[in-house]
A and B are shown apart, each in its own frame.
Chain A
Amino acid sequence: DAGITQSPRHKVTETGTPVTLRCHQTENHRYMYWYRQDPGHGLRLIHYSYGVKDTDKGEVSDGYSVSRSKTEDFLLTLESATSSQTSVYFCAISERGQGGYTFGSGTRLTVV
């Protein structure tokens, strides 16, 4: 995906441990988003950012926190991972307004 990179691509972690996922963009876009995707559900918004240090909650934000200290990086932290947070996590970016999002390739997280 042009200009947006997620890391790691895969991670297995134990219940109760903190986990941080990273989204890095080279497009200098203002808006960044974290989604999760689970079988039987559509994409669900976790958190989003509308600028450096400006973030807000999505519909499934419990158990997650985010930080954006510079334009290009948006971090998603699972404060204490639970099995219900096993999912595929997608980061997305957009410049503004009504245009479409550009999504990253995803991070597959398994909490055991």
Chain B
Amino acid sequence: DAKTTQPTSMDCAEGRAANLPCNHSTISGNEYVYWYRQIHSQGPQYIIHGLKNNETNEMASLIITEDRKSSTLILPHATLRDTAVYYCIVGTFQAGNNRKLIWGLGTSLAVNP
């Protein structure tokens, strides 16, 4: 399964959009892009996932480049509660394939007042 590259840390002002990049240049055609976040000491929280098309839900938007080699998670109006570590993972979460998923160290996003 593909490995991802994310910046170690980022800052964002409260109320502004937070754009978190992820590179996954070795992604395969059937692999999805997933985003999770982990607020300190809590379990990871699923945010969004996509295959080819851009996706939006109540939490965030996911923009995937046409060649699928990179993506951006957008939090449109960041709040202090969005301060967390954000993980970009590529692969498939189906049981049997999930053992190959690689959870990196993610991006530590600090939202500042």
Residues of B within 8 A of A (CB): 32, 34, 36, 41-47, 49, 87, 92-96, 98-99, 101-106
Which of A13-21, A62-70, A100-108 is near enough to bind chain B?
A: A100-108
Q: Could you tell me the distance between the alpha carbons of A45 and B44 in the complex, rounded to whole angstroms?
A: 14
**Residues of B with C-beta under 8 A to A44:** 103
Task: Report the count of interface residues on A (CB-CB < 8 A).
Answer: 29
Q: Could you tell me the distance between the alpha carbons of A59 and B103 in the complex, rounded to whole angstroms?
A: 12
A99 engages B43 (CB within 8 Å): no
B99 engages A58 (CB within 8 Å): yes
Shortest CB distance B103–A (Å):
3
Most buried by A among B32, B44, B47, B96: B44
Residues of A within 8 A of B (CB): 1, 31, 33, 40-45, 48, 50, 56-59, 90, 92, 94, 96-106
Shortest CB distance A108–B (Å):
9
Shortest CB distance A96–B (Å):
8
Shortest CB distance B107–A (Å):
12
Q: Could you tell me the distance between the alpha carbons of A1 and B44 in the complex, rounded to whole angstroms?
A: 10
Q: Could you tell me the distance between the alpha carbons of A56 and B104 in the complex, rounded to whole angstroms?
A: 23
Nearest CB in chain A to that of B34: its residue: A100
A103 engages B87 (CB within 8 Å): no
B43 engages A106 (CB within 8 Å): yes
Shortest CB distance B48–A (Å):
8
**Residues of A with C-beta under 8 A to B106:** 42
Nearest CB in chain B to that of A48: its residue: B95
Nearest CB in chain A to that of B47: its residue: A100
**Residues of B with C-beta under 8 A to A56:** 95-96, 99
Q: Could you tell me the distance between the alpha carbons of A19 and B36 in the complex, rounded to whole angstroms?
A: 29
B43 engages A42 (CB within 8 Å): no
Known: A40-B105, A42-B87, A98-B49. A103 touches B43 (CB 8 A): yes
